[in-house]
Structure 1
Amino acid sequence: MSEHADLSRELSERVADAAAREAPLAIRGGGTKAFLGERSEGEALDVTGHRGIVSYEPGELVLTARAGTPLTEIEAALADAGQMLPFEPPHHGANATLGGTIAAGVSGPGRPFFGAARDLVLGTRIVNGRGEDLRFGGEVMKNVAGYDLSRLMAGAHGTLGMLLEISLKVLPAPRARATRVFEHDAATAIEQINAWQRKPWPITAAYWEDGRTYLRLAGAQSSVDSAIRALGGEALTDDGTFWQSVREQTRKFFEGDDPLWRLSVAPATPMMDLEGPTALDWAGAQRWLRSAAPAETVRAAVSSHGGHASIYRGDASPRFHPLPKALMALHRRVKQSVDPAGILNRGRLYPDF
């Protein structure tokens, strides 16, 4: 039996033992997403040893890797083949792993144009709360009958299963890329970005901060050049560094002591009258707010526009936007079906969940 088979069996047995004792487990990877969500209860269960690319078929645009595999290793293998992870996952640290990234469900600037992390998940292998080693999905886009449990793992923060392997859809890296910069106030930026998206241009990211709109174009050289001629604006030199700073939140905007709120709304939602500076990402659908305003005030404003607000960095609880009772009941039923004793990352999403 291989080393990885031994380790996966060991992890399954550890979960089964914890389930028998009804002892909660706190699943640990690289730790770079630990600041997201609440603190999970229980004994630490380190999965970083379960690592490595299982299979990669560039011609099929599919990669399967173990959950403990560093993102840097995956991205290097893809770059060698001229491909990429289209959801541009934030690392938030050198030790970022694939499993932690999918469990947190985080996506970078390209998310509105290529899809979220969950949209690119083709299949998973997990250990459920009973210690059972299970596979869901596969390595093709259309393979799901019934509930798509693989994609439920994205954003579940390990509460529905401990990830062992993930199969992902990957894409060719664009041949040409350029970023144009425009002087806009926030209201104009929202209007303009939404208008641009109705054009047949190869837009792959749109961000606004401090009076400037940044629009990224990527694809065939002729398409990028044509869009630039129609758009105008200023060229941004070294746009790779810029978009990395947006993805990794290393820009000055993200510094400071005030809580950082993540606001999720429809892209055309007008600016809200909330205390503190705002940045617009995901073409306006994801908004970052630095504010010391009461959580009730922020969430009420966002809810009035049909959105939700979560604390991304800073002290507050609950960190995630409270769910309606009916939706929370559904979440609990799904949790009960895969983790009857409630041992996996207990309290990570919501208290007693």
Structure 2
Amino acid sequence: MQQALIDQFSETVRTAAEVGRPLHIRGGSSKSFYGYPPSEQSQILDISTYQGIIDYEPTELIITARAGTRLSDIESLLHQHNQMLAFEPPYFADTATIGGCVAAGLSGPRRASAGAVRDFVLGVRIIDGSGRDLHFGGQVMKNVAGYDVSRLMVGAMGTLGILLEVSLKVLPLPAVEQTISLKMNEMEAIEYMNRWAGKPLPISATSYVNEQLHMRLSGAESAVRAAHKQLGGEIYPAGDTLWKSIREHTYDFFKPPIPLWRLSVKPTSPPISFPQTKQLIEWNGALRWLSCQEVPAVDSIRQAAIKAGGHATLFQGYSSTAPVFQPLSPALAGIHRRLKQQFDPAGILNPGRLYPEF
């Protein structure tokens, strides 16, 4: 049954490549707002029916699942064995799938301490733009020399291949988690987060908004208790709810849904502010969310991000006048073009989803 689905997907891709018809690859549609919208001429290729856990070895800390498998099913299974997806992926909808999670490449509050999505991808199975069924990587942390194609698929938004299966490294759940809260201004919070991030403390998440710094501590009870004593602050009783609401953008800061910029910068960068904007900081200062009542000049936001050693993404609130992702340098654009040519020579897989020219 599952192989029949793969054969069907491959045939759809081959036919589309022959006639030059673009394909809009769709799973749970939980992140359809992210990136550029698909072409109106695109044919939908729904892979959500290709689902199920293929292999799970709790003792080996590895899980392999089909791309259409819901994230909720995977995390439910992992929690039964006191394990987790350490990069804490956002869902944004109950329909979120593991394929969409990897294709979007988004990580949650734990990313600064545990790592990003691509740090946990061990192997993938994909269909390329010629309809070929390809396997890359495997189920060990390092098993082949050369290019790591598996991790190349992370954040590619389906432009290089249709994800069929993913193998991921998982980690044990922490024994204890506790959230503390401290009141301070933005500059103090940035300095505070960076000062303690360099210490051997079990800090697993940070957020700063409305002059309130929250820090999550995760680990052995004795380590969490000792860290709280060093850091100070008051215990925040609704910690689990807080971090889930930040991960899923249901926190008050993200309401109502207005233009939202995501700035990835050096953690030590000083405050970045614009008129009529609110800001929420994560990842020890490396991730700055700007919620804009009025859309500031796009160039000014991007220049501010570059000055802070990073880049800016229009995460939500797509506008035809504002590029979603930071424009590529000529060198990087050349690399993207060559990769697209190798994996999708007919240019039919989610064309324009990342950049209009690819």
Under TM normalisation by the shorter chain, which class is it?
Answer: over 0.9
Tell me, in whole angstroms, the C-alpha distance in 2 between the residues paired with 1:256 and 1:301. Answer: 25
Q: Map residues 55-134 of structure 1 onto 2, 5 A cutoff.
A: 55-134=55-134
How far 1:167 moved relative to its partner?
0.2
Identity, % of aligned positions: 49
Secondary structure at the residue paired with 2:246?
Answer: helix
Q: How many residues align?
A: 351
2:175 paired with 1:175: yes
One-letter amino acid of the counterpart of residue 115, structure 2: G
Return the letter of the residue paired with 1:340: P
Q: Which letter does structure 2 place at the counterpart of 1:13?
A: E
Matching residue of 1:308: 311
Q: Structure 2: which amino acid aligns with 1:22?
A: G
Q: Which residue of 1 aligns with 2:327?
A: 322
Gaps of 5+ in 2: none
How far residue 257 of structure 1 moved from its aligned partner, in angstroms, is 5.4
SS where residue 126 of structure 1 aligns? strand
Q: TM-score, normalised by structure 1?
A: 0.98
- Report the AA paired with residue 291 of structure 2: R
Specify the code of the residue in structure 1 equivalent to 2:349. Answer: L
Aligned to 2:297: 294
The residue that corresponds to 1:345 in the other structure is 350
Question: By how many angstroms is 1:146 displaced?
Answer: 1.1
Measure, in 2, the Cα distance between the counterparts of 1:149 and 1:231.
41
Q: Deviations over 1:316-347 (max 9, x none)?
A: 23111111111011111011011001100001
Structure 2: how far apart are the matches of 1:135 and 1:181?
46
What does residue range 207-226 of structure 1 map to in structure 2 within 5 Å? 207-226=207-226
Q: Report the counterpart of residue 18 of structure 1 in structure 2.
A: 16
Q: What per-residue deviation string (whole Å, max 9, x for no partner) do you get for residues 112-156 of structure 1?
A: 111101111000000000000000000000113211110011100
Residue number in structure 1 paired with 2:30: 32
Shift of 1:273: 3.7
The 8 Å contact of residues 129 and 349 in structure 2, kept in 1 or not, is answered as: yes
| C-alpha contact (below 8 Å) 2:36/2:318 kept by paired residues | no
Letter in 2 for 1:324: S
Deviation at 1:20, TM superposition (A): 1.4
Q: Secondary structure at the match of 1:60?
A: coil
For residues 239 and 273 of structure 1, do their structure 2 counterparts lie closer, same or farther at Cα, with a shift above 3 Å needed?
closer
Distance of 1:19 and 1:177 partners within structure 2: 50
Could you state the TM-score of these two structures normalised by the residue count of structure 2?
A: 0.96
Aligned to 2:282: 281
For 1:308 and 1:5, the matched residues in 2 are separated by: 41
